[in-house]
Amino acid sequence: MSKKQLSHSGLLTPGEALALSFVSPRFAYSNLKDKFRGELNASFPRFFVLHLTDRCNFSCPMCSMAESRRAHLNAGFSDLPIDLVQKLALEARRYGAILNLFGGEPLLYKQLDDVFDVILRNNLISYVTTNGLLVMKRAASLTRGRVNILQVSLDGWDEESQLPRGNVPGSFNIIADGIHHILSHKGHSPSPIVRVATTITRNNYHHLDSIQMLIHEWGVREWILNNYQFVTSHILDEHASFESTTGIGELIVGDRIGDHNYFDSGQVSELKNVLLRVRSNGRSLGMRICYNWDIDLDAYYSPAMPSRDSKCLLPFNRVDILADGSITLCMGGYTIGNLHDGDIHQAWYGDRRKHFLEALRSYGIFPMCFRCCGITDTLSF
């Protein structure tokens, strides 16, 4: 984990971390306990990603969850039942946790206000990850002190450059208006913490500083930069073999790009220069940027497999709850239980998770870990 990160909620200032400790004292206590016990010995997940719905109003070409969402929709699953959200919250309140409301697009979830109420009643921390298209429409819900962290995805600096993100005409201005509205109505309130997340792509890598200056002008001071997630044909073959041997690998995250580099050497060189400007700008502008500045970009954007020295903390502190109630590790990559007929504690200490951890000890990095965000901060080659 990056030294600039506190917990797994992304980049927080000490003041923000302190404010969230008042929202969920048990979460703060559990985090401190984990630091003494070791981060690989958490007694309960500290971070839950709730895939509230498989529906989405964007069509992002690089969406890592699109295939899984289509399968769930075809099987008749659409939204996570509110009673399962309540069941999870009642169990999680004993330990404290962050609940990241995800999707699909979480702002499409019809009972979103009920979810906020459940989180508030159980003294949990709410984190909304959204494409931003419905932020204005949902503004009343997002600005009543019930959302602690609001993360909006933005990959462009104007309408033309943002369009490939979700293929929705006019989305740039809609997202910008939503962010402006939230920031203006938030005032001096600590909630929500507003941050923008940008994925580095072939479309925007040479203009990252343009996005940075724009969102700073809007009033955003927290920016998350993500390297593009992709997998090669070779890795897909390795993944299929690994899954047949271990039973692990229901989902592999990343855009299928064949067996070539995502960026060529010239593009990587230009990206490095842009990132130098971004880092310098961040210091002068007082922006907090969550990014692994030490990553080997030449190797990252090549077909190179990560070193076994790369470590992942996600199986030790996070579970994803899918719309069908599945309790999963690795963003849906391996199912360890289901909320319909069990609880988190049973899944966390169950045989399937034990099997996963044994495989992790034996193999180290799996093929499905190739460019997963779980190893971003430890990735080496």
43: confidence class by pLDDT, cuts 50, 70, 90: confident
379: confidence class by pLDDT, cuts 50, 70, 90: very high
Residues 128-138, mean pLDDT to the nearest whole number: 96
What is the tens place of the pLDDT at every residue in 212-225?
999 999 999 999 99
Angle in degrees, CA 268, 270, 273, rounded to 5? 110
Q: pTM score, two decimals?
A: 0.91
What is the tens place of the pLDDT at every residue in 350-366?
999 999 999 999 998 99
* DSSP letter string, 319-333: EEE-TT-EEEEGGGT
- CA 269/CA 263 separation, integer angstroms: 9
CB 119 within 8 A of CB 191: no
Percent of the chain with pLDDT over 90: 72
Buried b (16+ CB within 10 A) or exposed e, 130-169: bbbbbbbebeeebbeebbbbbbbbbbbbeeebbbbbbebe
What does the block give as tokens for 357?
């951890």
Report the C-alpha dihedral over residues 138, 139, 142, 145, rounded to 10 degrees.
-140
The pLDDT assigned to 4 comes to 38
Q: Is the pLDDT of residue 45 over 80?
A: yes
Mean pLDDT of the chain: 90
- CA 332/CA 315 separation, integer angstroms: 11
- Choose between 64 and 337: higher pLDDT: 337
What is the tens place of the pLDDT at every residue in 290-326?
999 999 999 999 999 999 889 898 999 999 999 999 9
77: confidence class by pLDDT, cuts 50, 70, 90: low
- Choose between 346 and 22: higher pLDDT: 346
Q: What's 313's DSSP letter?
A: -
60: confidence class by pLDDT, cuts 50, 70, 90: confident
- CA 65/CA 60 separation, integer angstroms: 10
Q: How many CB atoms lie within 10 A of CB 351?
A: 9
CB 11 within 8 A of CB 4: yes
